[in-house]
Structure 1
Amino acid sequence: MSPSTTLDAVADILARAQRILFVTGAGISVDSGLPTYRGIGGLYHDRLTEEGLTIEEALSGEMMATRPEIAWRYIAQIEASCRGAKPNAAHRLIAALEQEKALVCVLTQNVDGLHRAAGSRNVIEIHGTVHRLHCMSCGQGRRVEDYAGLSIPPECPRCGGILRPDVVLFGEALPELAIERLESVLSQGMDAVVSIGTTSVFPYIAGPVLWAAREGIPTVEINPGDTQVSQFVDHRLRMCAAEALPELWWRMHPADPAEDRGW
């Protein structure tokens, strides 16, 4: 099947669907200037930290509890790589589809907040976000736009304890509320499940795609490379997200192409 034929087929699926789950990873934010990664990332791929640790050790819940200055050093580097990034066409077009459909939900591994910045409201941030902090001592929370001006590690203004971001570190459990939200969405039934920019190495990320494939629900993958779910999906677009979504939007909205909206 030619790329154009595959785009037409996927556009037809999305046009007909009223309930769509988008499962997104770092690849959707590449055109916003962010690095790709598995887990934490290309920033540290196959390299030890300056302390001689793997990034999984440095960014673990245990390290945050015992040596927060080390965990925070690398959390701050990740936040710095996201700082100033803006949503790209893929983020914005998913948000636009949410306005047209009965249900569009985004399950994202990304902690950059770009889906919400683009206007998506039904977002499950399964790994949390760097933009919320809470005190490990008193629990007080606060929202921050960026980490500029924060001491590392930052202290709680109320009790002097150490703040941490509301992200899932290595070795920590996924947030129960996020899991419950995902289960609730899936229980409503899906008309399509679309995986974008993720290698799908985590079972809870591959799971919705594999579930849809078993149930006969149309599945789509948008990713330039091969992933853990590539062999199971109905349609594969070997494209970057910010290239594929405008092409799909144009086929779904020939009188209102994405470029006419500045996307």
Structure 2
Amino acid sequence: MNQDTTLDAVAGLLAEAQRILIITGAGISADSGLPTYRGIGGLYHERLTGEGLTIEQALSGEMMARRPDICWRYIAELESNCRGAGPNAAHRLIAALEQEKSALWVLTQNVDGLHRAAGSQKLIEIHGTVHHLCCTECPHERDVADFTGLDIPPACPVCGGLLRPDVVLFGEMLPEQGIQRLERVLAAGVDLVLSIGTTSVFPYIAGPVWWARQEGIPSVEINPGDSEVSGLVTHRLRLGAAEAMGKLWARLHPDAPAGH
């Protein structure tokens, strides 16, 4: 099946589906100028930190507890690479598609907040967001646009304890609320699962695609490279997220002006 035929087929599935689960990873934010995480050319591809650590060691819950200065150094590096970025066409078109469907949910691994900035409301930020800080010692929490002006590591203005972003670090448990929400979405039933810009190495990210395959529900992967679910989906588009979503939107809305 050539690319245009596949695009037509996927557009047809999107047109018919009312309950959709879209799973996104770092690849969807690449068109906003953000580096991918571990992929080829990614921010930490085959690279150790200045301390000789893997990035998984540096960005772990254990390191936050033992050496918050090291953990925060690389959290701040990630945030600085995201700073100033805005949603791209893929984020915006997903948010627009949500307005047309009875239930379109986004399960994202990204902590950059771009889906929320684009207007997505049915959103499961399974790894949290760098834009929300919580004290590890008291109930204080606050939202920040970026880390400009923060001491690294930052101290709580209320009790002096350590502040940390509300993100899931390596070795930490996923938020129970997010997992339960995903389970409820799947239990209610979906008509289509889309995986966009993720290598799907985590079981909870690949899981919905496996579930769709077992249930006979169509699934789509939008990814220029291969992933853990490439052999499971019913349709593959080897395209970047913004290009693919733009082409699909044009098929769904042939009379709409280009560049929504």
**TM-score (normalised: structure 2):** 0.98
The 1-side partners of 2:104 and 2:115 are apart by 12
Secondary structure of residue in 2 paired with 1:204: helix
Q: Any residues of structure 2 matched to 1:79-90 within 5 Å, and which?
A: 79-90=79-90
Q: Any residues of structure 2 matched to 1:180-199 within 5 Å, and which?
A: 180-199=180-199
Secondary structure of residue in 1 paired with 2:116: helix
Deviation at 1:255, TM superposition (A): 1.2
Q: Which residue of 2 aligns with 1:48?
A: 48
Task: Indicate conservation of the 8 Å contact 1:38/1:199, yes or no.
Answer: no
Q: Which residue of 2 aligns with 1:117?
A: 117
Secondary structure of residue in 2 paired with 1:42: coil
Q: Which residue of 2 aligns with 1:12?
A: 12
Q: Which residue of 2 aligns with 1:137?
A: 137
**One-letter code of the match for 2:132?**
R
The 1-side partners of 2:183 and 2:196 are apart by 20
Deviation at 1:184, TM superposition (A): 0.8
Q: Deviations over 1:55-113 (max 9, x none)?
A: 11111001101110000000000000111001000000000011000000000000000
**One-letter code of the match for 1:28?**
I
The 2-side partners of 1:12 and 1:43 are apart by 36
Q: Which residue of 2 aligns with 1:70?
A: 70
The 1-side partners of 2:9 and 2:129 are apart by 34
**One-letter code of the match for 1:150?**
L
Secondary structure of residue in 2 paired with 1:184: helix
Runs of 5+ in structure 1 lacking a partner?
A: none
**One-letter code of the match for 1:133?**
L
Q: Which moved more, 1:132-141 or 1:4-13?
A: 132-141
**One-letter code of the match for 1:103?**
A
Indicate the percent of aligned positions where both proteins have the same amino acid: 72
Deviation at 1:37, TM superposition (A): 1.9
Q: Which residue of 2 aligns with 1:103?
A: 103
Runs of 5+ in structure 2 lacking a partner?
A: none
Task: Indicate conservation of the 8 Å contact 1:92/1:118, yes or no.
Answer: yes
Q: Deviations over 1:172-194 (max 9, x none)?
A: 00000000110011111000000
Q: Any residues of structure 2 matched to 1:179-218 within 5 Å, and which?
A: 179-218=179-218
Q: Which residue of 2 aligns with 1:225?
A: 225
Deviation at 1:132, TM superposition (A): 0.4
Deviation at 1:204, TM superposition (A): 0.4
The 2-side partners of 1:148 and 1:186 are apart by 39
Pair 1:37-2:6 in alignment: no
The 2-side partners of 1:159 and 1:16 are apart by 54
**One-letter code of the match for 2:60?**
S
Moved over 2 A (4+): none
Q: Which residue of 1 aligns with 2:58?
A: 58
Deviation at 1:38, TM superposition (A): 3.3
The 2-side partners of 1:38 and 1:126 are apart by 18
- Between the two proteins, the alignment pairs up a number of residues equal to 259
The 2-side partners of 1:197 and 1:37 are apart by 11
**TM-score (normalised: structure 1):** 0.97
The 2-side partners of 1:66 and 1:37 are apart by 24
Give RMSD over aligned pairs: 1.1
**One-letter code of the match for 2:59?**
L
